[in-house]
Amino acid sequence: MRKVRGTAAVREWFALTESALLTHRGRLNRINVFPVPDSDTGSNMLATVQTSRAAVEEHQTEDIGELLAHAGSAAMNQAGGNSGILLAVFISGFAEPLSGSPRLTLSGLSQGISRASLRAWSALSSPMDGTMLSVLDAARDAVAEAAESAADPQARSALEEAMPSMVARSREAVIRTEQQLAPLSEARVVDSGGLGLLIVLEALAATICAREFDDDLLTGVAGWNPETNQPTVETAKHSHVQDGGVELMCTVQLNPLGAASLRHQLDELGDSVIITPIDGASAGDDHSEAVLRWRIHVHTGDVDATLAAVQEAGELEDSTVTQL
């Protein structure tokens, strides 16, 4: 593979990620047992990446932060499921510290992944280890340590040299997920979203280092062999709204205080609650009066009451309901 930099590298990253997720979507879906076994993690992450790729292909800029922000906003508007939304949050958060940058450096990568981690943890009402969050944090720590020890963290060589550690530490975090959550241990699989994020990070490393995507990275991961360790709905049931419940996705206009209040209501009405600003407002800016567009995800057993709570909180732009 040829070396690409700047916005060309961003486009190459999304193209390579899309290709890898197309290849592995089926098996990611098959091992999807948390937070509900709805067999759509691979499909949701692929849809987020495809939307992001289309966005970066049509947007012309030399600013990688601007390009990633455009991708993240487009993905957030269309994202579905826990994994799809969290991947969109990752892209949006990654973009924020890179605004104005013409190329990615090790320092920029460290800042971007750190911001992505903060945004992802803040989006969830009940964030948990043993999920995509653990894998993201492992990547964050590996890159931060590399940036701290690098003689020149702005040099291209420093960025390339940090990639093996980032991928290896992320893979280790994926493997640990099997023992961190009871539904995964029972089904003898790793977290599907975490494994999907590893694919995203491996595609980033391959793009930076101008090498092929390493499919062998997935070999030996619990549940990845399609012939064994088949997870079942019976072993994975644990959500209190799963039986007869639905997944509600919507976009609503709120200020941050309104979003915080709505989060409390949704926590009473369901679970797997995600509330995140579509266009990347500062995490923790709960006292701003600015009205923002928020993407909301919730699993609920009472869709009418949940939709009513959202509509009372702010202007509802769109909503979709899917049976769990």
Q: What pLDDT digit, counting tens, does each position of 206-230 carry?
A: 999 999 999 999 998 988 875 444 4
| Confidence at 235, pLDDT banded by 50, 70, 90 | very low
Q: What is the pLDDT of residue 324?
A: 79
| pLDDT higher than threshold 60 for residue 242 | no
| Confidence at 23, pLDDT banded by 50, 70, 90 | very high
Per the prediction, the chain carries an average pLDDT of 90
* CATH class as words, domain 6-235: mainly alpha
Q: Is 251 helix (H, G, I), strand (E, B) or coil?
A: strand
Q: What is the pLDDT of residue 211?
A: 96
Domain boundaries, the chain: 6-235, 246-323
Given the structure tokens 């020890």, which residue do they identify? 149
| Confidence at 238, pLDDT banded by 50, 70, 90 | very low
- Work out the number of other CB atoms within 10 angstroms of the CB of residue 303: 17
Distances (CA, A) of 23 to 18, 27, 28, 48: 9, 9, 10, 15
Q: What pLDDT digit, counting tens, does each position of 44-100 carry?
A: 999 999 999 999 999 999 999 999 999 999 999 988 888 999 999 999 999 999 999
pTM for the full predicted model:
0.91
Residues 6+ apart with CB under 8 A from 220: none
Share of the chain above pLDDT 70, in %: 91
Q: State whether CATH 2.40.50.140 applies to domain 246-323.
A: no
Long-range Cβ pairs for the range 303-309 (8 Å, 24+): 303/246, 303/248, 305/269, 306/248, 306/266, 306/269, 306/270, 307/248, 307/250, 309/262, 309/265, 309/266, 309/269
